């Protein structure tokens, strides 16, 4: 899987295809990152990146698949990692700038707070 490298990550929801690393596991839909299903997000330690969450909802409202960061590949609310001092989840139409300080482990995941296996990995390069 080639990594997604960008300053802004647009997250949306789509029916999984075999491209998704969790195809056939958990919920039948998963997150896309800049159009890549379950994309591997690459960031640099200390860098600030914008996450914009569409939620698969054309009206950009609601929170059926709350987007969060987690130490668990499963997601589903397990082992959350705060995105900032004030925010730990994104609902449809929301954005946040996340700074990957030393508080973040070198590898973790993004996921849905409700459903299992909707997300993918994030790797921080030092």
What residues line the site for Cu ion (CB under 5 A)? 65, 112, 114-115
- Measured from the CB atom, the residue of 30 and 108 that comes closer to Cu ion is 30
Least distance in Å: CB of 53 to Cu ion? 12
Least distance in Å: CB of 98 to Cu ion? 20
- Measured from the CB atom, the residue of 54 and 115 that comes closer to Cu ion is 115
Helices and strands, number each (H, E), in the chain: 0, 10
Q: What share of the chain is helix, strand, coil (3-state, %, to 5)?
A: 0, 40, 60
CA gap 97, 95 in Å, rounded: 7
- Measured from the CB atom, the residue of 54 and 100 that comes closer to Cu ion is 54
Are 109 and 81 in contact by the 8 Å Cβ rule? The answer is no
The residues that bridge with 98 in the sheet, in sequence order, are 49
Least distance in Å: CB of 54 to Cu ion? 13
């Amino acid at each position: 899987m080639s990594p997604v490298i960008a300053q802004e990550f647009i997250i949306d929801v789509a029916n999984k295809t075999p491209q998704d690393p969790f195809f056939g596991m958990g919920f039948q839909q998963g997150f896309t990152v800049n159009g890549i299903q379950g994309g591997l997000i690459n960031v640099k330690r200390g860098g600030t990146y914008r996450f914009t969450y569409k939620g698969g909802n054309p009206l950009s409202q609601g929170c059926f698949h709350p987007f969060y960061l987690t130490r668990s590949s499963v997601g589903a609310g397990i082992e959350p990692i705060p995105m900032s001092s004030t925010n730990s989840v994104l609902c449809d139409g929301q954005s946040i700038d996340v700074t990957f300080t030393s508080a973040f482990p070198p590898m973790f995941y993004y996921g849905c707070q409700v459903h299992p296996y909707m997300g993918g990995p994030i790797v921080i390069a030092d």
